[in-house]
Structure 1
Amino acid sequence: MLRSAAFAASHDNAAGGTSLDGPRSHDPYDAKFDRAPVLAITGLPHHDIADTFTQQDVDHTKLFADVAEYTTRIMSAAHVENAVALACRMALARRGVSHLAIPTDVQEQALQSVKSSARNVAHHASFEPAGTRPLPTEADLDRAADVLNRATRVAVLAGQGAMGAREVLLDVADLLGAPIVKALLGKALLPDDHPHTTGGIGLLGTRPSQEVMESCDALLIVGSTFPYIEYYPRPGQAAGVQVDLDGARIGLRFPVDVGLVGDARATLEALRSRLHRKDDRNFLQTAQQAMQEWRRLLHDAVERPGAPMKPGRIARDLGERLSADAIVAWDSGHNTGLLARYCEAREGQRYGGSGLMASMGCALPYAIAAQLAYPGRQVVAFAGDGGITMLLGELATVVRYGLPIKIVVVRNDSLGQIKWEQMMFLGNPEYECSLQPIDFVKVAEGFGLKAWRAERAEDCAGVLDAALAHDGPALAEAVVDAAEPAAATEAPASVRRQPAQGVGGGHAGPGGCRARAEGTAGEADAGALRQKARNKKAPQRKVGGALMVFSAFL
């Protein structure tokens, strides 16, 4: 089912997924939360013994009631055409999940053997697509333009809903002199070195993006419901305009002045002609300069030679070697931040993974879906050891179907993000985050993949070159420094006062981590780069009652 969500996320049409007796509970929620049209098909017991406590007697229509836009049980072969037509239309129109549950004996029915009811006229349902590009009212467009024209420092926050509107979004941003901040699902919207973007936002984002959010006086949100409200401008700081296909999502995270309900491209095209070009480009130029410095900082921050290597090194070196049309699937955890920050998106590449659900184990299923959808393109799954372990059986799928997927496993023998949240944000000792060490090279070879390991920073380039050049499925394991923190771009005051307590407390598992307990974890070896950051004045502000401070180091 995760593969179906991934396939749908990369296409305009719905994807299908099947299951013998029901999906993993969170799989369809990835599609629901990330607005991916999916048709899920599940099997049921024979129709005349359903709901009698027979084996695997689960009413899937009830199971899917919360997650699906449409869910029904197929009653007979005569019911299939009508239900499938409506299910597909609902999934596409509402960009969500539709579900059909088909009893075992109904699956085997021949249409000719079933007598339809008198009211079920044959072929009365239509499969004709009904695409639409809804537009806001002229009055709302005028109001939105007035808000943006009056502002002097406009920022744009764009997500996956803007993917089909890239060119007109750039036109609008250029007119407004506005830097574009990208939500994670919009990572591929613009190359990370594009002069109009400051990269990501939030825990996985960049310092320039947060500076833009703190200093803008107007925010244009396009196709995004980025969930972390504390990273938006403070209430009352900035005016807001939001473009979204779903009116229910207008004002969901930020108190906008004008909501434009409509297709992103069509709406921006209608808005563009109403905007005045801003002669003052200082806001954009300041963001551009900050982004150049940030990119240099990230590049240099992982240069430490030898072992254990900085976690960001494998992501940086991977980004430098990906093909121009590569598709990269991320997992959920510490590795997500590494990919988001250190692996720079380039023109023509695509990035994807679980968004609002942050489902662990998603990288490999998403990569499988991408490789099936685009057999001629390079596909990479970027995962942590915790996530990949959850779905190791998918390695057999990769080999069985000859999918030339390249799998990068960031190994720190722990649930890294949870560990550092416990210590840095809560000030608690690490508890039950250590993982049983796994030799992923041997595991991969056991499944029939070619595999390599990088333990030193200097090994990354050669290992990645070999894995990416291999003409079949391959795995590269990167053993990284488990004591290196997953530091936020902006962190609560507790992050500055809690690490000594949390890290110093060690953890209940083997190999306790106490060595880096001073200041913030990882401070001891930041060296000259840390001093460079200290020389910059760190912007501070109150967010949700907690003092926030930028950190340039990861």
Structure 2
Amino acid sequence: MPKQVADHILERLRDWGVEQVFGYPGDGINGLVAAFGRAGDRPRFIQSRHEEMSAFEAVGYAKFSGKAGVCAATSGPGAVHLLNGLYDAKLDHVPVVAIVGQTARSAMGGHYQQEIDLLSLYKDVAGEYVQMAMVPEQFPNLIDRAFRVALAERAPTAVIVPADLQEMEYSPPAHAFKQVPSSVPGYEPPVTCAPQEQVARAAEVINSGSRVALLVGQGARGAVEEVQQVAEVTGAGVAKALLGKDVLSDELPYVTGPIGLLGSRPSYELMRDCDTLLIVGSNFPYSQFLPEFGSARAVQIDVDGKMIGMRYPTEVNLVGDAATTLRALIPRLRRQEDRSWRETVEGNVRRWWETVERQARVPAEPVNPMLLFWELSARLPDDAIVTADSGSAANWYARDLRFRGRMRGSLSGTLATMGPGVPYAIGAKFAHPSRPAVALVGDGAMQMNGLAELLTIARYRERWSDPRLIVAVLHNNDLNQVTWELRGMGGSPKFEESQNLPDMDYAAFARAIGLEGIVVDAPEEIGPAWDRALAADRPVVLDVHCDPDVPPIPPHAEFEQLKDVAEAIMKGDPDSFGVVRKGLRTKAQELFSRT
């Protein structure tokens, strides 16, 4: 039987080392689906419950594997459904390749069923590279370029393949005019270093300071040793952007933790009091949480010249690989012999972790959500992979979890979309089937799509050598983050019609599909529940009944935010008594630590 275009596409995916494609079938990719059958499911077709979940699973796989994730969807609605996950990849700089079906070429332009102008639709989300195939000879070049651009630009790309073309006989490009060949699959990123004269200027700026602060993001992941050397020489404290939470161990005494709205007090104090700032591999967007303009001199290192110098008035911008550029910088740095700044930073960090524990132990009704995260911290295996959803879960993930060892973690950092927590964990399990994964999600995200994706976990769990995938649900029947944003950003009381969620027994649902389900409705049950889940022989859902009135108050809450919350209460917030009582008790733990 002649090889079809779809057969060739799968062959090329195998050449690129692709082991699974996250997707959902439809007649727009019938030819591709049939090719999976002829190929003996190589690469494996991983069927999600929804195309958006396929894209999120591809993003999770890419984030935790360092490879390009691949997702596939049919024409029309399937292609539309991929968009949110692909935008998550775009905004967090993650390589994902989407293979999308399209109406048959003979029907295009005829207002045919499921016909959408996909090139226009995908122009923004996959703007680095989106192409529609029209003849077999465009392959393998379209697939190869999609991968190389995705990896080089750390971005989503898309190849659109009309349904009839998938079933055509494949013929490679000829050595002929207007045909484009391709080379052996593979991509290795260039190792670049900023020019030495700029490195010297950066060293002068850093050496002139006595209170140095570092801010690291996901771009510093390959430069852990170098970042630690810089911190040791300069006596700096190190804050971490949200996507860089797993870059440095929180057991290092000078690591101040997260920064920004979800940040820690020592990170706030680090930025407030430093006189010199070095930003490495971070595009942290909230300049109000960086030093006051004019109070600190600043240097930035980033591999992407398009993203540099736009978050803070930096004096020196070093475009280059973080590790290579830092290695060139370190010999030029002068050791800071006065360690008083470092001692101040470390003292702030020690007090902060004491504060976090006290806040986690503030009584709540029935469970303080911070306690769920605090109890997990000490129990996490050193090789665990942790995902979090957007919402209040992201607050506690950022502030209460202490990462160490080989732990990895991520969430939707820039798009901040609801829904990726569970599919990210699924993608992580396919990237590292021998490592445990934990997804920390709110009940809003769980009802939005997490419940359905538990079916995907049940279906594929036998493929993972380590069976542990724990989904912890913060069950409070409230869209909690938005509720607090209504109070804290606009002074509006909780609007129950939009904020209240229907009650649901998440543990019972898990048990009904062959997973383990554990209900937690008392604080003394949290530790034993984590122990049981981490020792289980199958995936587990922890249904944790949390108190919605425990506030995610930033340690650097501004007067206007507190005033807005007070106004919301005075306007008749339905939970006003609990908000005041638990808010004051939570904030008091922080104030106590500073006396």
Q: Scaled by the length of structure 2, what TM-score is found? A: 0.85
Q: Quick one: distance in 2 between partners of 1:448 and 1:174?
A: 50
**How far is 1:76 from its partner?**
2.4
> Please, which moves more after superposition, 171-180 or 5-14?
5-14
> Please, which moves more after superposition, 5-14 or 215-224?
5-14
Q: Quick one: distance in 2 between partners of 1:427 and 1:170?
A: 43
Q: Quick one: distance in 1 between partners of 2:337 and 2:257?
A: 24
Identify the residue that residue 93 of structure 1 maps to in structure 2.
152
Describe the shift of the 1:122–1:24 C-alpha distance in structure 2 as closer, same or farther (beyond 3 A).
Answer: closer
The answer on whether the counterparts of 1:202 and 1:489 sit within 8 Å (CA) in structure 2 is no
Identify the residue that residue 338 of structure 1 maps to in structure 2.
396
Name the aligned partner's letter for residue 482 of structure 2.
I
The answer on whether the counterparts of 1:163 and 1:186 sit within 8 Å (CA) in structure 2 is yes
Describe the shift of the 1:528–1:89 C-alpha distance in structure 2 as closer, same or farther (beyond 3 A).
Answer: closer
Matched, 1:514 2:576: yes
Describe the shift of the 1:304–1:239 C-alpha distance in structure 2 as closer, same or farther (beyond 3 A).
Answer: closer
**How far is 1:306 from its partner?**
7.0
Q: 1:249-294: per-residue Cα shift (whole Å, max 9, x none)?
A: 1111111000000001111011111111111111111010110011
**How far is 1:186 from its partner?**
0.8
Identify the residue that residue 241 of structure 1 maps to in structure 2.
299
Matched, 1:400 2:459: yes
From 513, 531, 534, the equivalent of 1:447 is: 513
Identify the residue that residue 438 of structure 1 maps to in structure 2.
504
Identify the residue that residue 473 of structure 2 maps to in structure 1.
409
The answer on whether the counterparts of 2:362 and 2:585 sit within 8 Å (CA) in structure 1 is no
Question: Does the residue aligned with 2:151 lie in a helix, a strand or coil?
Answer: helix
The answer on whether the counterparts of 1:210 and 1:231 sit within 8 Å (CA) in structure 2 is yes
Q: 1:228-268: per-residue Cα shift (whole Å, max 9, x none)?
A: 12101011010110000111211111110000000011110
Q: 1:278-314: per-residue Cα shift (whole Å, max 9, x none)?
A: 1111111101011001101111222245742211011
- After TM superposition, the structure 1 = structure 2 runs for residues 185-334 of structure 1, keeping only pairs within 5 Å, are 185-304=243-362, 307-334=365-392
**How far is 1:417 from its partner?**
1.0
Question: Does the residue aligned with 1:401 lie in a helix, a strand or coil?
Answer: helix
Q: 1:493-524: per-residue Cα shift (whole Å, max 9, x none)?
A: 122223232134345xxxx3121465xx6245
Q: Quick one: distance in 2 between partners of 1:355 and 1:528?
A: 29
Identify the residue that residue 426 of structure 1 maps to in structure 2.
490
Name the aligned partner's letter for residue 16 of structure 1.
V
Identify the residue that residue 122 of structure 2 maps to in structure 1.
64
Matched, 1:351 2:415: no
Q: Quick one: distance in 2 between partners of 1:40 and 1:448?
A: 32
The answer on whether the counterparts of 1:302 and 1:312 sit within 8 Å (CA) in structure 2 is yes
Name the aligned partner's letter for residue 71 of structure 2.
G
Describe the shift of the 1:315–1:40 C-alpha distance in structure 2 as closer, same or farther (beyond 3 A).
Answer: same
From 151, 161, 171, the equivalent of 2:219 is: 161
Identify the residue that residue 49 of structure 1 maps to in structure 2.
107
Matched, 1:472 2:534: no
Identify the residue that residue 13 of structure 1 maps to in structure 2.
67
Q: Quick one: distance in 2 between partners of 1:155 and 1:459?
A: 40
Q: Quick one: distance in 2 between partners of 1:360 and 1:526?
A: 26
Name the aligned partner's letter for residue 414 of structure 1.
D
The answer on whether the counterparts of 2:83 and 2:125 sit within 8 Å (CA) in structure 1 is no
**How far is 1:472 from its partner?**
1.0
Q: Quick one: distance in 2 between partners of 1:219 and 1:343?
A: 25
Question: Does the residue aligned with 1:203 lie in a helix, a strand or coil?
Answer: coil
Q: Quick one: distance in 1 between partners of 2:201 and 2:541?
A: 53
Matched, 1:501 2:501: no
From 58, 62, 66, the equivalent of 1:4 is: 58
Q: Quick one: distance in 2 between partners of 1:530 and 1:188?
A: 25
Q: Quick one: distance in 2 between partners of 1:206 and 1:215?
A: 15
Describe the shift of the 1:320–1:51 C-alpha distance in structure 2 as closer, same or farther (beyond 3 A).
Answer: farther
Percent same amino acid among aligned pairs?
35
**How far is 1:206 from its partner?**
0.8
- After TM superposition, the structure 1 = structure 2 runs for residues 107-126 of structure 1, keeping only pairs within 5 Å, are 107-112=166-171, 118-119=176-177, 123-126=181-184
> Please, which moves more after superposition, 286-295 or 296-305?
296-305
Name the aligned partner's letter for residue 556 of structure 2.
E
Q: Quick one: distance in 2 between partners of 1:111 and 1:139?
A: 53
The answer on whether the counterparts of 2:59 and 2:89 sit within 8 Å (CA) in structure 1 is yes
**How far is 1:529 from its partner?**
3.1
Describe the shift of the 1:210–1:308 C-alpha distance in structure 2 as closer, same or farther (beyond 3 A).
Answer: same
Q: Quick one: distance in 2 between partners of 1:528 and 1:361?
A: 33
Name the aligned partner's letter for residue 111 of structure 2.
F
Name the aligned partner's letter for residue 310 of structure 1.
N
Describe the shift of the 1:497–1:202 C-alpha distance in structure 2 as closer, same or farther (beyond 3 A).
Answer: same
From 57, 75, 87, the equivalent of 1:29 is: 87
**How far is 1:121 from its partner?**
5.6
Greater fraction helix = 2
**How far is 1:192 from its partner?**
1.2
Describe the shift of the 1:81–1:197 C-alpha distance in structure 2 as closer, same or farther (beyond 3 A).
Answer: same
**How far is 1:427 from its partner?**
1.2
Name the aligned partner's letter for residue 571 of structure 2.
G
Provide structure 2 residue ranges, at least 5 long, that are not aligned to the other structure.
1-54
Q: Quick one: distance in 1 between partners of 2:381 and 2:115?
A: 48
**How far is 1:353 from its partner?**
1.3
Identify the residue that residue 544 of structure 1 maps to in structure 2.
none
Q: Quick one: distance in 1 between partners of 2:252 and 2:262?
A: 18
Q: Quick one: distance in 1 between partners of 2:121 and 2:175?
A: 28
Q: Quick one: distance in 2 between partners of 1:208 and 1:85?
A: 46
Identify the residue that residue 23 of structure 2 maps to in structure 1.
none
Identify the residue that residue 29 of structure 2 maps to in structure 1.
none
Identify the residue that residue 82 of structure 1 maps to in structure 2.
141
> Please, which moves more after superposition, 242-251 or 433-442?
433-442
Q: Quick one: distance in 1 between partners of 2:216 and 2:578?
A: 37
- After TM superposition, the structure 1 = structure 2 runs for residues 104-183 of structure 1, keeping only pairs within 5 Å, are 104-112=163-171, 118-119=176-177, 123-183=181-241
Name the aligned partner's letter for residue 279 of structure 1.
E
Q: Quick one: distance in 2 between partners of 1:86 and 1:524?
A: 56
Q: Scaled by the length of structure 1, what TM-score is found? A: 0.92
Q: Quick one: distance in 2 between partners of 1:479 and 1:262?
A: 47
